[in-house]
Structure 1
Amino acid sequence: MQVSDVPPTTVPGWRRTFAEGELTLGLSPVTPDGDLERQVGLVQAAEDAGFAAVWCRDIPLNVETFGDVGQIHDPFMYLTWLAAHTEKIALGTAAVVLPLAHPLLLAKRSAGLDRLSDGRFLMGVASGDRPEEFAAFDLDKGDRGEVFREHLEVLKKGWTSQMRPVRWSRGRMGGAEVVPKPSASGVPLLTVGSCLQTTEFNAAHSDGWLTYHRNLPAQKVTVEKWRASCEEQGQGFKPVGESLWIDLAEDPAYPAEGRDFGFRIGREALLELLATQKELGLNHVMISLRHGDRPVEDSLAELAEYVVPEFPALG
C-alpha cells in the first residue's frame, strides 16, 4: 500500500486544533459513565460550539487505588464511534499507554482510525504510571521509559515500512507490512507528559506536546523550555497544550479558586486565564468538566455561549 509523503501536520484534525500564535479548546473526557448516547450528544454539542477537539484516555484496567476509568471504552473503539457521529471535531487520545501496546497493532489501529475519520485523529502517547497495569501486562514498570522509545520507533516504522524487515527486542516482521497506511506520512503524534524522556527527545520525535496544568509562571518556563528544545533540534514550531480541570461556577464573576489540576472558576476569570495562557505560548487547552458540581450539559452550554467563541476551532 502506498505511503504518503504529506506531513501529518497537514491533516484536517491537526489544522483544526493547532497553529502558531493561536489557542484552541478541547474537551476531555465528557462524562465518567458509560452512557454512549449521552456522551455522543455532548461531543456533538462541543463540535457545534467550536471546540477544536475531544480527547479520551487509555485506561486498560479499573485499578482500585485510582478509581478512574476515563470514558470506560477502549479509546480506538470509542473514537471510531464518535467519528461516525461527528463531522469536523478532531479526535484525540491523551494518552495511549505506549509500553503496554503492541506497536504493530497500534500502528494498524491508529492508521485505521485516521482513515475512517478522514484525517481527524490526533494520537497522544505516554509511558503510563499505574503499577497494577504493568504487572498485569507482564512488564516491569521500571523499564517503561526504554520500552516507550523502542515502541515509538516500531510504531513509526509500521506506518511507513513496505515489505521491509522490522526488528526490535520483542519481535520481528519480515515479508509483511502493516495496512492500512495513514492518510499522511504518519498519524499526528503528540507526547503527553514527560514519557520518561528528555524534553529534547520529545521535541525531536513528536509533532507536539501535551503537558499538565501548572501555575502561570511555572507554565511559562515550561513552554519556553519546549520552544528552545524544538529550536535546538531544528524542528521549528511545534505546539504545546495543557489539560485543565474546571468546576465552572454559576456566578460569572466567581474568582479563580485553585483545585487539583485546575480551578473552581467563573467564566469571566476563565476568559482572563485563557487569554493569559495564549500570551505565554500555549496552543491548546483540554478542559475537563467531570469534577464540577454542575451537570456537564449546563457547564458545556455556558462555555459554548461565552468562552469558546473567543478561542474557536481553526480552519
Structure 2
Amino acid sequence: MLTNNRFILGLSSGDQPVEYPAFKKDFAGRAERFREAWEMIRTPTDQDKRFAKFAGHHYGKLDGSIDMVPKMPGLDRLPMVAIGRARQDFGWLANTADAWIWHEVRPEDTGKIVRVISERNKDHTWHPFGYANFVELLDDPNAPAQLYNNIYLRGGSKALAEYWESQRQLGLSHVTINFKPTRRPFNEVVQDFSENVLPKFAD
C-alpha cells in the first residue's frame, strides 16, 4: 500500500441542502443512505470477505463475481471514521464506526459524550472520540487559550497544550486541527506547534 497502512477513511453525510440536487439525491433521506454507503464500502474491504455480496436500495449491489484488491495487509478491515453526527444515533456511532470525529463540542460535554459511547458499546472494542478545532496559534507561548463557538481555538503553545491535555483527561482521543485562522507565517506556526505542542502528546 502506498500509505504503509496509514490510510483512514472518513465519511460524512453532508449537511448543505443546496448540494443534494447536484447528485439528484433527496436531502431528507441522507441518514439511511449514509448507513448503506458505509456498509457498501465496508463489505468488499473487509479482510475476510472475498468476492463479497451486497444488496442495497440506493447504491446497487455486489453479486459475488468481483473482489477488491489489495486488502489492507495486517489489518482486519479498512479503518473508517464517522465525520460529524451524520444523523446517526449514539448506538450506531458506538459500535459501527471505528472512531467518531465531531465538531462544535462544548469542552464540558466531552466527558459526557465519551461515557455515552462507552455505555452504548456492545462489541467490547474501543471506539475513540475526537473533534475538530480551527486553531490560531499565537506567537506568545503564554497567551491564554480562548474558545469561540466551541470550534475556534486561539492561544499560545503552552495554553493550547494544557487545554487539550485537560480534554484528554476527559476521554478525548483525537483533534482535527485546521490552522486556517492563523495569521503568522505557516512554516513558523508548524515549527512552533511541532516543537512546543506535539511533544506533550508523544505517548
- Return the TM-score normalized by structure 2: 0.88
Counterpart position of 2:139:
250
Q: Does 1:157 align with 2:56?
A: no
The equivalent position to 2:89 in structure 1, one of 184, 198, 202, is 198
1:189-228 matches, cutoff 5 A: 189-228=80-119
Write the letter of the residue equivalent to 2:13. S
* C-alpha spacing 1:180/1:236, structure 2 compared with 1 (3 Å): closer
Deviation for aligned residue 1:213: 4.1
**Residues 246 and 263, structure 1, Cα contact 8 Å, conserved in 2:** yes
Deviation string, structure 1 residues 165-192 (Cα, Å, up to 9, x no partner): 3221242222222233222221111112
How far apart, in 1, do the equivalents of 2:120 and 2:26 lie?
Answer: 30
Counterpart position of 1:289:
179
**Residues 123 and 190, structure 1, Cα contact 8 Å, conserved in 2:** yes
**Residues 93 and 117, structure 2, Cα contact 8 Å, conserved in 1:** no
Counterpart position of 1:276:
166
Counterpart position of 1:124:
10
How far apart, in 2, do the equivalents of 1:263 and 1:162 lie?
Answer: 45
Unaligned runs of 5+ in 2: none
**Residues 159 and 185, structure 1, Cα contact 8 Å, conserved in 2:** no
Q: Which has the higher contact order (CA 8 A, sep 6+)?
A: 1
Unaligned runs of 5+ in 1: 1-114
1:137-176 matches, cutoff 5 A: 137-160=23-46, 161-169=49-57, 170-174=59-63, 175-176=65-66
Q: Does 1:266 align with 2:156?
A: yes
* C-alpha spacing 1:226/1:165, structure 2 compared with 1 (3 Å): closer
* C-alpha spacing 1:164/1:217, structure 2 compared with 1 (3 Å): closer
Deviation for aligned residue 1:214: 2.3
How far apart, in 1, do the equivalents of 2:194 and 2:6 lie?
Answer: 21
**Percent identity among equivalent residues?**
27
Deviation for aligned residue 1:119: 0.4
Deviation for aligned residue 1:205: 0.8
How far apart, in 1, do the equivalents of 2:52 and 2:134 lie?
Answer: 45
Please say which of residues 243-252 and 157-166 is displaced more in the overlay: 157-166
Counterpart position of 1:179:
69
How far apart, in 2, do the equivalents of 1:122 and 1:290 lie?
Answer: 22
Say which structure is richer in helix: 1
How far apart, in 1, do the equivalents of 2:195 and 2:76 lie?
Answer: 37
CA RMSD, 1 decimal: 1.7
How far apart, in 1, do the equivalents of 2:125 and 2:138 lie?
Answer: 39
